[in-house]
A = this chain, B = another copy of it.
Amino acid sequence: VKVFLGERLIEAAQARIPPEDRGFLLGDGVFETFGVKAGQARDVPAHLERLRAGLSALGFHPALSDADLEAALAETIAANGVETGSARLTLSRGPGPRGLVPPEPSTPTLLITAQPRTGAPPGPAKAAIATVTRRNEHSPLARLKTLNYLDSVLALNEARAKGADEALLLNTAGRLACASAANLYLVISGQAVTPPVVEGVLPGTVRRHLLDGGEATERALFPADAAQASEAFLTSSAGVRAVVAVDGRPVGDGRPGPVFERIAAAFG
């Protein structure tokens, strides 16, 4: 297994993140996960655009162009022989002294890994609405893909402890925001609807395709809407996944439905 660290590919076993890296100490960084098909990362421009938005919000920038990042990504995927799977590009602010004040200039840490898909894609999900935590729509971090991922970890752990496969997170206003690492859609009156990003939602790349293509529209969603929906599903760079139950109650007839099937065929 090889990883791209800093400026080159190296053996994963030799890759070293220094203990003063702010990614490790403070979660001070951003990442993107790319789907890989036919040996190619998908939706690279959209992912890099979101990565740049995150870097701007955090206020640090690597001395690497998008073309540099794309080349490093392709190199990592090829070196690991990944045909179908995923790749993750992480950029932390790099090493810093004690405390919160970032060094100026920073020397960001770039890490890229690539993994083949192992096993079959996950089947339909039973979801549980997280009670342990809520997504903070008052923070820009809710709309960025940063290394601060603990709320999602807590929510997913709670869901799994309840026997569910996925967590749905409410925002602080009590409305539905998203799953632990995916956008959420309910099908209401035949139309797939998903919460707007102001609700504390990551602007996903597949979500963008669905909105641009008229396959979904934006609307604030309440937990009670899940009971009215004929279908529910999730999208992420990992694909499209049906949600067949929420908190133990079936969504629609409790099976993946036609809207999910159509979208999964196009974007899965």
Contacts and interface: CB of A to CB of B under 8 A. Distances in A.
Which of A16, A24, A101, A140 counts the most B-chain CB atoms under 10 A from its CB? A24
Given A19-B113, A141-B133, A156-B101, A27 B149 contact: yes
Contact of A25 (B115, B139, B147, B172): B147
Contacts of A152: 100
Interface residues of A, number: 55
A57 interface: yes
Given A24-B17, A149-B26, A154 B140 contact: yes
Contacts of A57: 154
A31 B27 CA distance: 12
Interface string A126-152: 000000111010111100001111111
A150 B113 CA distance: 23
Interface string A81-114: 0000010101010000011111000000001010
8 contacts: A5-B19, A16-B17, A23-B24, A100-B149, A136-B151, A139-B154, A141-B154, A148-B149
**What 5 A-B pairs come out closest when comparing CB atoms?**
A27-B27, A136-B136, A16-B16, A134-B138, A148-B148
A160 interface: yes
A57 B155 CA distance: 11
Contact of A100 (B17, B18, B147, B156): B156
A141 B135 CA distance: 11
